[in-house]
Amino acid sequence: MTRRAATDQATSARRTVEDLLQRVQHRLTSFLAAERAHYAEVHEHAVVAIDALADLAAAGGKLLRPAFCLTGYLAAGGDPAEPGIVDAAAALELLHISALVHDDVLDDSRTRRGKPAVHVLHTTLHRTRGWQGESRRFGEGVALLVGDLALVYSDELMAGAPRGAFAEWHRLRSEVMIGQYMDVAAAAEFSVDPDLSRLIALIKSGRYTIHRPLVLGASAAGRTDLAGALAHYGEAVGEAFQLRDDLLDAFGDAARTGKTAGLDFSQHKMTLLLGWAMQRDSRIHDLITEPGHTPDEIRARLLDTGVPADVEQHIAHLVDQGCAALADAPLEPQWRAQLTDMALRVAYRDK
């Protein structure tokens, strides 16, 4: 199916998803506002962490995980009027906000959603006010607690979800934490191992962002029979998503992404892009690990390997493969079209 045809067929399905996404955003806002009202009675300090979460929720992310969850649910015939699925989708977004806040500490990323990352903001605040102790420990400590609070709240929202969603929710969460550890460990060791890079991309991106949210949604609608097809789709499209992430980090526009650019270089992330490039040109390993090389120098050398162009081709192949996995699944045409459209959107996004 061409991109245009898929987009047209998916219009009504997409509209239903978008309506529900607005309810998800509203659920998040009103949940955090109720918590804020509760803790405002306690002490002025008691609302600081909640306000940090509300700011991130309001800054508006891509809502990819809620969108896949809702799509999985609706494609499986779930009732759009069921409030529990809005809770589940809101829980996925708050879990993601937690992961972002903690991730930014792990990577020492300076900006998020176009603003200073939580740890950066509070490190600066500590320094400006001349408070006791080390500014870095304070700022990173606050981010640690803000992320913990988001993790706890995500779970509180999930309590309202349909029971069928829970097994996938549990697996998704432990898996993303373990995937993150594997990513951090691989960056520290920085040995070229594309199989490991691919496994990490599968676990911490493909499954977390696409496969499990989709299956969680379908399971919430009681349709475990769709799990196999959605898993194949999610893993392929998820790998495409991660490869696009690698390309955006290396070559994207920080003003568009709202994130620090070139972070994979400075944090020695053993991404698939870098792993493949290093297999062709071992000098890239040195450019990244030796001090004094600019991101532009690394970018130029990367382009010389031809790997970025190959990665583009591979992304196209993965999208085809993901969509083909749905060919025989018992899905209505509008939902197959919506999933095709979503695959194209995540694989060809610019932020």
Interaction of residue 309 with a copy of itself, rule CB under 8 A: no
Q: Binding residues for a copy of itself, how many (CB under 8 A)?
A: 58
Interaction of residue 137 with a copy of itself, rule CB under 8 A: yes
Return d(Cα 12, Cα 89) in angstroms, integer. 20
Q: Is the dihedral of CA 300, 304, 309, 314 positive or negative?
A: negative
Q: In terms of CB distance, is 293 or 345 closer to a copy of itself?
A: 293
Output the six-digit token pair for 15.
Answer: 């509209």
**Long-range CB contact pairs, 315-321, < 8 A, 24+:** 315/240, 315/243, 315/244, 315/347, 315/348, 316/347, 318/236, 318/237, 318/239, 318/240, 318/243, 318/347, 319/236, 319/237, 319/240, 319/343, 319/344, 319/347, 321/236
Phi, psi of 246 (to 5 degrees): -60, -45
DSSP string for residues in 269-304: ---HHHHHHHHH-THHHHHHHSTT--HHHHHHHHHH
Q: In terms of CB distance, is 16 or 111 closer to a copy of itself?
A: 111
CA proximity to 53, closest of 77, 72, 79, 34: 34
Among the listed residues 7, 16, 46, 301, the single contact to a copy of itself using CB under 8 A: 46
Give the rounded distance of the alpha carbon of 22 from its chain centre.
Answer: 19
Return d(Cα 38, Cα 30) in angstroms, integer. 12
Interaction of residue 39 with a copy of itself, rule CB under 8 A: yes
Interaction of residue 48 with a copy of itself, rule CB under 8 A: yes
Interaction of residue 147 with a copy of itself, rule CB under 8 A: yes
* Site map (CB under 8 A) of a copy of itself, residues 244-273, x = contact: -----------------------xx-----
Find the part of the chain contacting a copy of itself (CB under 8 A) among 56-64, 147-155, 210-218, 274-282. Answer: 147-155
Least CB distance to a copy of itself at residue 211 (A): 15
244 close to 349: Cβ distance less than 8 angstroms: yes
332 close to 8: Cβ distance less than 8 angstroms: no
Angle, in degrees to the nearest 10, between helices 135-158 and 118-129: 140
Interaction of residue 37 with a copy of itself, rule CB under 8 A: no
Find the part of the chain contacting a copy of itself (CB under 8 A) among 35-43, 253-261, 297-305, 331-339. Answer: 35-43
Return d(Cα 237, Cα 233) in angstroms, integer. 6
Least CB distance to a copy of itself at residue 36 (A): 11
Interaction of residue 112 with a copy of itself, rule CB under 8 A: no
Q: Which of residues 151-210 bind a copy of itself (CB under 8 A)?
A: 151-153, 155-156, 159, 166, 170, 173-174, 177-178, 180-182, 184-190, 196, 199, 203
Least CB distance to a copy of itself at residue 331 (A): 29
CA within 13 Å, CB half, 334? 13
Least CB distance to a copy of itself at residue 89 (A): 18
Q: In terms of CB distance, is 53 or 318 closer to a copy of itself?
A: 53
Q: In terms of CB distance, is 255 or 291 closer to a copy of itself?
A: 291
Find the part of the chain contacting a copy of itself (CB under 8 A) among 21-29, 56-64, 123-131, 322-330. Answer: 123-131
What is the identity of the amino acid at 200? I
Residue linked to tokens 């699925």: 85
Please list, in sequence order, all residues whose beta carbon lies within 8 angstroms of the beta carbon of residue 236, skipping any fewer than 6 positions away: 206, 318, 319, 321, 322, 325
Find the part of the chain contacting a copy of itself (CB under 8 A) among 46-54, 272-280, 310-318, 323-331. Answer: 46-54
Among the listed residues 23, 112, 126, 212, the single contact to a copy of itself using CB under 8 A: 126
Interaction of residue 117 with a copy of itself, rule CB under 8 A: no
Q: Which residues bind a copy of itself (CB under 8 A)?
A: 35, 39, 42-43, 45-46, 48-50, 98, 102, 105-106, 108, 126, 129, 131-133, 137-138, 140-142, 144-149, 151-153, 155-156, 159, 166, 170, 173-174, 177-178, 180-182, 184-190, 196, 199, 203, 267-268, 289
